[in-house]
Amino acid sequence: MNFNDQWIEDQLLDRFLRYVKIETTSDRHKDVIPSTPGQWDLLNLLKDELKELGITDVSLDKHGYLIASMESNIDDVSQPPVIGFMAHVDTSEDVSGKNVKPLLHKKYDGKDIQLTEDVTISVKESPELKRYKGETVITADGTTLLGADNKAGIAEIMTAAAWYLKNDREKHGKIEIIFTPDEETGKGLDRFPIEKLNSFCCYTIDGDIAGTIEAECFHGYKAEIVFNGIVIHPGDARGKLMNAITMASNFISMLPRNESPEATDGRLGFYCPLGLSGGIEKTEFELLIRDFEYEEVKRRIETVKQIAKAVEGMYPGGSVEVSIHKQYSNMRDFLDKDPRIIRFLEKALEKEDMKPLKKIIRGGTDGARLSEMGIPTPNVFTGGTNFHSKREWIAIPGMIRSVRSIVQLIRLWSEER
């Protein structure tokens, strides 16, 4: 295949730097999808860019799902399976994504990157940086996140599509490109028009360091807990006041500290307090429940309910309401549909001289939701890391490898009949 890395780099930089400057922070407190107007700005831009590439089948629906189809250029009655590539337009609300100022560290010197007095990207904490000494590394300016999660994935999918359309003699089957809103809120596929997709399988380009393949993630659930107290003047409160804030604080203190995100890694799940708001009469609490095994999720859900009962016992007259909401399933349970889905991905990386690095996702992706809908969807690297933080960074060589791997993957599937 005739790769021109300088052309790929130019395409990537032009697109990525343009995309990260658009504020697309999502808001988990809003029910509308997309949850923020900035996501529409990027979606509409991508819609126009896809059409400018020459892709005529492009649709953007009222919920912000952008789906484009590159028709097969294989002149044969027998066609290869349709495959898709997906990325999300929103960025995490954990750190501001407003007024992102990307910095290009050309010929990176291999040392710690000092962004501000308080923000340093250290080689010790990001040893992957050592691979890119002498190359171009991109960061934000230390006041915001960069947005490589997932605008790097968007830029890489767009560049791979542009490469195939530029090299129109390269044969490919039908390819579907999907850009989604609100992945970071866990609501990204709540209203997804699955009937519009023809893909046999799909790949989210939403992973981190070069070579990474992720085919397993958490089972994700969220508990919404309401504490109902009894209000009376504090001066006359003895034996009468039931303070919802105190009820909530007791509940939180009873959660196992050794099963928190900060105390676990690897295959260990956790409880993660997400938000607390309210007053003496009523306090609301959001809690994430995560594990790789469904039986462990069920155990944690039962623990939450038992703690709620214990708090009610401590505060006679007060009440605790627990609502459990499923967010996504472990994609592992759906990827056994066809061994080619992972085998071809590994082969594509090997063709680019990368040893596939299999990792588990201590989180979830739209790919987990799409897998559950019937389209198996593993996750593939973008070349960045330190997502959701001011220390986020991505390297141009990693992004180029992502584009080349997508191209190789399309080629492998296009040879299937």
Per-residue pLDDT of the chain (417 residues; tens, 9 = 90+): 678 999 999 999 999 999 999 999 999 889 899 999 999 999 999 999 999 999 999 999 999 999 999 999 999 889 999 999 999 999 999 999 999 999 999 999 999 999 999 999 999 999 999 999 999 999 999 999 999 999 999 999 999 999 999 998 999 999 999 999 999 998 889 999 999 999 999 999 999 999 999 999 999 999 999 999 999 999 999 999 999 999 999 999 999 999 999 999 999 999 999 999 999 999 999 999 999 999 999 999 999 999 999 999 999 999 999 999 998 999 998 998 899 999 999 999 999 999 999 999 998 888 999 999 999 999 999 999 999 999 999 999 999 999 999 999 999 999 987
Burial of 287 (0-12, 13-18, 19+ CB in 10 A): buried
Please give the backbone phi and psi of residue 25, each rounded to the nearest 5 degrees, phi first.
Answer: -55, 130
Could you confirm whether 183 is annotated as catalytic?
A: yes
Question: Cβ(322)–Cβ(225) under 8 Å?
Answer: yes
Statement to judge: residues 378 and 247 lie in one domain: no
| Residue found by looking up tokens 């069920």 in the block | 298
Statement to judge: residues 208 and 304 lie in one domain: no
**Of 4, 11, 40, residue with least CA distance to 23:** 40
Which of 93, 156, 183, 216 is catalytic? The answer is 183
CA distance 399 to 161: 14
Range of the domain at 197: 5-217+330-414
Statement to judge: residues 314 and 343 lie in one domain: no
Statement to judge: residues 133 and 182 lie in one domain: yes
Statement to judge: residues 100 and 192 lie in one domain: yes
Give 235's contacts (C-beta < 8 A, 6+ positions apart).
none
CATH of the domain at 368: 3.40.630.10
CA distance 11 to 160: 10
Whole-number CA gyration radius for the chain: 23
Statement to judge: residues 261 and 384 lie in one domain: no
CATH of the domain at 313: 3.30.70.360
Burial of 154 (0-12, 13-18, 19+ CB in 10 A): buried
Question: Cβ(192)–Cβ(93) under 8 Å?
Answer: no
Statement to judge: residues 127 and 255 lie in one domain: no
CA distance 92 to 98: 11
Q: Extract the tokens encoding 136.
A: 């171009």
Domain count, the chain: 2
Statement to judge: residues 48 and 28 lie in one domain: yes
Q: Which residues of 53-76 are buried (b: 16+ CB within 10 A; e: fewer)?
A: bebeebebeeebbbbbbbebebee
Statement to judge: residues 338 and 315 lie in one domain: no
Stated pTM of the model: 0.88
Which of 49, 90, 291, 312 is catalytic? The answer is 90
Q: Extract the tokens encoding 36.
A: 């923020």
Question: Cβ(381)–Cβ(153) under 8 Å?
Answer: no
